[in-house]
Amino acid sequence: MSVFRRLMNRIRKPKKKGKDSEATSETTLEDTRFDSPSEDTTPPPTGFVASRAVPQPMGTLVAESDRLIMDPTTTRDLAKAASIFPQETAEIVPGKALKRDAKGRIHIKIVFYGPSLSGKTTALRWLFANVRSLTKSRIVEVSDELGRTTFFDFVPISATESMVFDVFTVAGQRRHAASRITVLRDVDGLIFMADSAPEQMNENLASIQELEIALGTDRMATMPIVVALNKRDLPNALPAEYMLEMLDLQEYPVFETIAKDGKNLLRMFQRILRDALIFKVGP
């Protein structure tokens, strides 16, 4: 079930008396389940409504549906223009749909995705500077006058002489939707980086909505994805359980990160590289 219908269903359900509405399940950081969502041909709604399954933290305005502007039709058109189509069977069979360069090396594409200023580029820079076990080429950045990524950051990382990981981040600003969705073409593994600041919850919701529409439910169900809840050092950081419930991301591996300090970034990166390698090449 898509995140949109799930959020709507929670609101329609009457509250049970005498029950504490807070979620009691714990987030397992190293748990991986890629369960396929149930088929749903109903077009997703054009906006989000805040969930009531997990109570909104006291004193914070987390999400407002009237401030969340996302046009599913435009997103689908951009995905089509970027040649992102429903998966073919060969794409989910390890070793069948491999990308090779002129030297015969296999390329695996990893993308950091998430809202503007959530820490994607900061995380990539930290990994580039601190992961010494991999042979790195160079980092290519295209930034605007404020230093924010306007198209992508790209780091080719060579794991072996025959294997290269191409790591990208995308521009999170709404105005760069076309270039951001283009970077998703041929992605093999994805890191969704959410911002833990309460005022950024709308942007987190818009970003995950855009991602689901652009990739489609088949790719979201099978592709290796890890979730980074970033900026956990903020004094008003939203509870992890609340964020995962709102974003409907409980079934993916989750890492609570502080990108500027490198906290949990290496573990997160190792996990997505491993999962993407198994997904594309095989165990």
CATH code of the domain covering residue 248 = 3.40.50.300
Nearest to 36 by CA among 196, 194, 218, 238: 218
Block mean pLDDT (10 aa), the chain, length 283: 47 43 36 36 38 51 53 90 90 92 92 91 88 69 50 70 86 70 92 96 93 93 96 96 94 96 95 94 88
Give the per-residue pLDDT at 22.
Answer: 38
Give the per-residue pLDDT at 30.
Answer: 38
Tokens standing for residue 239? 């509870």
Domain count, the chain: 1
Quick check: is 94 in a domain? no
Residue 238 region by backbone torsions, left for phi larger than 0, else alpha for psi between -120 and 50, else beta: beta
Quick check: is 81 in a domain? yes
pTM (2 decimals)?
0.74
Separation between Cα atoms, residue 177 and residue 78, nearest integer Å: 8
Structural domain boundaries, residue 79 = 3-12+45-85+105-280
Quick check: is 30 in a domain? no
Give the per-residue pLDDT at 200.
Answer: 93
Give the per-residue pLDDT at 215.
Answer: 94
Tokens standing for residue 233? 């050092």
Quick check: is 222 in a domain? yes
Quick check: is 24 in a domain? no
Which is it for strands 225-230 and 135-136: parallel, antiparallel or unpaired? unpaired
Give the per-residue pLDDT at 170.
Answer: 79
Quick check: is 136 in a domain? yes
Quick check: is 37 in a domain? no
Q: How many Cβ atoms are within 10 Å of 233's Cβ, its own excluded? A: 14
Quick check: is 138 in a domain? yes
Give the per-residue pLDDT at 205.
Answer: 94
